[in-house]
Amino acid sequence: MAWTKFPFADDSYVYTAASLKKAWARLHAGDAEPFPKNAALVDAWIAYHAGEFEKAAKLGLALGLDGYSVANKATAIYANYLEKSEKKKLALFEEVAARCEEQQAEQPKNPAAYYLHAYALGRYAQGISIMKALSQGIGNKVKTSLDNTIKLSPKHADAHIGLGTYHAEIIDKVGAMIGGLTYGAKKDEGLNFFKSALKLNPHSAIARVEYANGLVMLEGKKKMNDAVKLYEGAAACEPLDAMERLDVELAKEELAD
C-alpha cells in the first residue's frame, strides 16, 4: 500500500545538497545527526526533509545499515503523523524497532540506533496503551535506549524530550510512588529533561508540545495556563522542514480543540 502523501507539499521544503548542508545544524539540533559523507545518503535526507517519507525510507534502506537512520526516522515520523490505519501504524513502529536492534548490534556507537528504537517503541506503547506496554516490559526498553542515546550524544535534545515524556507517562499512569519504585520515574527529573531539551533546541515545536503534555500529566490542571503558553509557542515556531511543519500543525490543532 502506498504511503499517505505529506499534505503541505505546496510549501516547499526542498533542499539541494548545498542548501541542506548549510541548514543541517539547525535542522538536526534535535537529533545531533552528523552530515552524511555519502551523496546517496544526502539524497535520502533531502527526500526526508521535503516530506517524501516513503522515498526517503526506500533510498535509506537501499544503502543498508548506513541508511537505516534516515529510513527509520522517515518511517517513524510518517507512522506517527500520517498513517491512517492503526494496524499499519503499529506494524511500522515494530519494523523500525527491529531494524534499530539490528543497527545497535552492528553500530553500537550510533545514537540514532538507540533513539529511534525508543521513539518507535514509545509510540507503539501509546498505541496499544501505556499500561499494556509496561506489562510487556516495553517501558524499560524505552528508558534503556534513551539513556544509551544520551550517553553517546549528551546534546541529543530529542532524547531529553523522550526521557521527560517517559517520566511523565509513567507517573500519570501508575502514580508517583509505584512509578518511582518500579520504573525510576520522578516528577522533577521529567520536568528537568523537558527544560534541557528546550535549551538544547530552542527552535523546537515538538519540545514545547511534549513539555506542555508532560506538565499537565505531572502537575495537573494548575499548570494548564503554562501548557497553553507552550502550545502557543509551538504553533508560532517557523518550520524549516516537513517534520517541523507537522509538529507545528499538531500544536495548532491542540489549541483549536
Give the DSSP per-residue string, 39-61: HHHHHHHHHHHHT-HHHHHHHHH
66-96: buried (b, 16+ CB within 10 Å) or exposed (e) per residue?
bbbbbbbbbbbbbbbbbbeeeeebbebbebb
The distance of Cα 200 from the centroid of its chain, to the nearest Å, equals 15
- The pLDDT of residue 12: 80
Tell me which H or E stretch contains 37.
none
User: Can you tell me the distance from the alpha carbon of 188 to that of 186, in angstroms, rounded to the nearest whole number?
Assistant: 6
User: Can you tell me the distance from the alpha carbon of 21 to that of 231, in angstroms, rounded to the nearest whole number?
Assistant: 30
Q: Which among 197, 216, 147, 172 has a CA at the least distance from the CA of 30? A: 197
Kindly report the pTM of this predicted structure.
Answer: 0.95
Are 251 and 209 a contacting pair, CB within 8 Å? yes
- The pLDDT of residue 98: 98
User: Can you tell me the distance from the alpha carbon of 257 to that of 252, in angstroms, rounded to the nearest whole number?
Assistant: 9
Q: Where are the extended beta strands (E) located within the chain? A: none
Tell me which H or E stretch contains 158.
helix 157-174
15 three-class SS: coil
Are 157 and 30 a contacting pair, CB within 8 Å? yes
Are 251 and 235 a contacting pair, CB within 8 Å? yes
Cα angle value 198/170/133 (rounded, 5°):
115
28 three-class SS: coil
Tell me which H or E stretch contains 220.
none
pLDDT by residue, tens only, the chain of 257 residues: 789 999 998 778 999 999 999 999 999 999 999 999 999 999 999 999 999 999 999 999 999 999 999 999 999 999 999 999 999 999 999 999 999 999 999 999 999 999 999 999 999 999 988 888 888 989 999 999 999 999 999 999 999 999 999 999 999 998 989 888 888 899 999 999 999 999 999 999 999 999 999 999 999 989 999 999 999 999 999 999 999 999 999 999 999 98
